[in-house]
Structure 1
Amino acid sequence: MAATVLLLIGLLLPYLKLTAAQTRPIGVCYGRVANNLPSDQEVVNLYHSNGITKMRIYDPNEPTLQALRGSNIELMLGIPNGDLQALSNPSVASSWVQNNILAFTPDVKFRYVAVGNEISPSDEAASFVLPAMQNIYNAIASANLQAQTKVSTAIQTSLLGNSYPPSAGSFADNANSYIGPIVQFLKQTGAPLLANIYPYFSYIGDTKDIRLDYALFTSQGTPVQDGSLGYQNLFDASLDALYSALEKAGAPDVEVVVSETGWPSEGGDAATVDNANTYYKNMINHVSAGTPKRPGKVIETYLFAMFDENQKGPAETERHFGLFSPNKQPKYKLDN
């Protein structure tokens, strides 16, 4: 492969190839909060040319769904937070599934429906999340697609009231009434919890106690010892804290899918191309190893994001999470 191409495939492809029993572990989020992005068909072609076989989008954008027809790219389809109240009506949810899933099935591979993103218990939309999830699930089940298309919601790790050490992980008291019933729904339907995990934000929020190498997967030794389990990176510690919280919530068998993780290349503290390259490369290398709590269990993970998005904000870093620039040129050389 020519050095000038600098494609992701050199590192992604070893983890994306399947045996019959494996699940593709790495996807990339396709955000569109920008006015300079390629066409949806170009984007799908870019996924293909880089061996990326999983995509997350944040709303049922018809041009994107049309471009995905026949692509074999597995899709995590998001429902915007502002739409959840309407979807708490079963007939509206049924129409939504008909228009945005059934109309594109089987040409588009819908893997997950993410009902809302990063909703806090105090948000106005919080009371509508579970009813919307139930209604979307029932509409999918009516079409006998519930085994292949799982319904969940994407949370922030801020719902944890305690995360250190990881074995003490638990949901915050003020979050229990919100997340508890959702977790039980996931347990009943066999769906994973979707979680956006960003060591970058944890690091810049507490540089006194969190070392940069611990956030970047480059620490030597074992910075955190939790009983018999040793933690060499913050990502594993965050994920295992979520698993501990799920256990305490009575759902030890609910899996966690990392629905977003990434590192910005500019715009703030520690936001550099070198750090972002290190994080993405080490993250991709790490997904097949599992965590100390669940060693050897592949971590299904979606990198954020495909492109820099020039209309995101308010923080400058929000505009610099892309693996690619809007002109489709890769920002990093992630092959070994």
Structure 2
Amino acid sequence: MGSRWTFNWVMFLGFLSSCVYGVGVNWGALATHKLPQKTVVQMLKDNGITRMKLFDADENTLSALAGSNIEVMVAIPNYRLKEMNNYNSAKEWVGSNIARYNFMGGVTIKYVAVGNEPFFGPFNGTYKNVTFPALRNIQNALNEAGVGDSIKVTVPLNADVYSTPQNNPVPSAGRFRRDIRGIMTQIVRFLNKSNAPLTINIYPFLSLYGSVTFPKKYAFFDGGFSITDNGIKYTNAFDANFDTLVSSLKAVGFGDLPIIVGETGWPTDGDKNANIGDAYRYYKGLLPRLAGN
């Protein structure tokens, strides 16, 4: 997404089969002015943040989160996915980054993100054949370590893993991308068997950024543009994007798979539509919508 953009990240943890699970934030390590990890954790607690998604399993960050009761999603970076295709390496990673924090007063780890948007188009298939074996090995290693019932794997995906035909661009026509459809079917079948969720990152801003014809009003939640699909009226791209994923899951036989929205947000710098006013408008619509289930 480019280092020139300043994003306010939000994480929404929710499930298809139930009401909203909770709202949290993403904590990335790339910053020019880093705060001490303990300061960040206290700031989160002071603001009532109870859920956190990380992009790695940094020891200092996890140590700062110990005893905080903040539910955490730790992550394995893409460059380590091939390494995790070796089961012994997967067991070693689980021992070093999960089991060591699994004690009373430790870190409340709920999920392990295996990669980050590994099928994103610009990666040109680099992680296509190593993501599912890594996912399977990590969950099996969690099971072997005795924490598999409470800690589940997931894969945070970019929304480009699914699409709709140009002649029928509605959510019900959503299908996984042809080049990864087989792999995605394997992944969701395994997640379903493991009672684990799929994670998706949804950014209406990126639709606006990527197309001069995309209606700006559709990126927000306050109306002004809509589409109708089989009698369902969609007034914003977030809902339509989410349901496109649901349709894609249904098409491969797993329409009831739990879904986490891992990232959504609006940038405040770096593009003509990246500003504080539009970011405020996006969150003003998003957060009450999540709170209202």
* Identity score, percent: 35
Deviations 1:105-154 (A, max 9, x none): 13111111110011127422221111111111011111232222110111
Cα distance in 2 for partners of 1:47, 1:157 equals: 28
The structure where strand makes up a greater share of residues is 2
Q: For the residues of structure 1 that align with 2:19 and 2:126, how far apart are their CA atoms?
A: 39
Q: Distance in 1 between matches of 2:89 and 2:69?
A: 28
Q: Does 1:216 align with 2:213?
A: no
CA distance in 2, matches of 1:244, 1:69: 39
Q: TM-score normalised to the size of structure 2?
A: 0.88
- Deviation per CA, 1:35-71, whole angstroms, max 9, x where unpaired? 3110111110111011111111111100000000000
Alpha-carbon offset, residue 22 of structure 1: 7.1
Which residue of the partner structure matches residue 137 of structure 2? Answer: 135
> Does residue 89 of structure 2 align to residue 110 of structure 1?
no
Residue aligned with 1:191, SS? coil
Partner of 1:305: none
Using the TM superposition, give the Cα deviation of residue 97 of structure 1 relative to its aligned residue in structure 2, in angstroms: 0.3
* Pairing partner for 1:207 from 206, 209, 212: 212
Return the letter of the residue paired with 1:191.
Answer: A
2:189 match: 184
For residue 113 of structure 1, give the secondary structure of its aligned residue in structure 2.
strand
Counterpart of 1:237?
Answer: 240
Report SS of the residue matched to 2:221. Answer: coil
Q: How does 1:45-56 map to 2 (within 5 A)?
A: 45-56=42-53
Q: What displacement does 1:177 show?
A: 2.3
The count of corresponding residues between Structure 1 and Structure 2 is 272
- Under a length normalisation based on structure 1, what TM-score does the superposition of the two structures give? 0.77
Q: Go from structure 1 to structure 2 and tell me whether the alpha carbon gap of 1:72 and 1:22 turns closer, same or farther (over 3 Å shift).
A: farther
CA separation of 1:88/1:67 partners in 2, compared to 1, >3 Å: closer, same or farther?
Answer: same
The answer to whether the aligner puts 1:94 opposite 2:97 as a matched pair is no
Deviations 1:176-234 (A, max 9, x none): 122121111111111111001100001121231x32221121214x6111112111110
1:285 maps onto 2:284 in alignment: no
Any conservation in 1 of the 2:163–2:244 contact (CA below 8 Å)?
A: no
Q: Structure 1: any 5+ residue segments left out of the alignment?
A: 1-11, 290-297, 299-336
State the SS of the aligned residue for 1:28.
strand
Q: Confirm or deny: 8 A CA contact 1:40 1:63 kept in the other structure.
A: yes
Paired residue for 1:228? 231
Q: CA deviation at 1:32?
A: 1.3
Using the alignment, how far apart are the partners of 1:197 and 1:24 within structure 2? Answer: 17
Equivalent position of 2:163 in the other structure: 161
Distance 1:159 1:22 in 2: 25
- Determine the C-alpha separation between the residues in 2 that align with 1:182 and 1:223: 33
> Do the aligned partners of 1:161 and 1:171 also contact (CA within 8 Å) in 2?
yes
User: Could you tell me how far apart the structure 2 residues matched to 1:153 and 1:24 are?
Assistant: 18
What's 2:118 paired with?
119
Shift of 1:167: 0.8
Segments of structure 2 that go 5 or more residues without pairing to the other structure are: 1-10
How is 1:1-336 mapped onto 2 (pairs within 5 angstroms)?
24-106=21-103, 107-120=106-119, 122-162=124-164, 164-208=169-213, 210-220=214-224, 223-289=226-292, 298=293
Q: In the aligned structure 2, how far is the partner of 1:31 from the partner of 1:172?
A: 28
Hey, what's the Cα distance between the residues in 1 that align with 2:210 and 2:282? Answer: 17
Partner residue in 2 for 1:5: none
Deviation, structure 1 residue 161: 3.0
CA positional deviation for 1:247: 0.3
Per-residue Cα deviation, 1:231-263 (whole angstroms, up to 9, x for no partner):
111000000000000000111111211111110
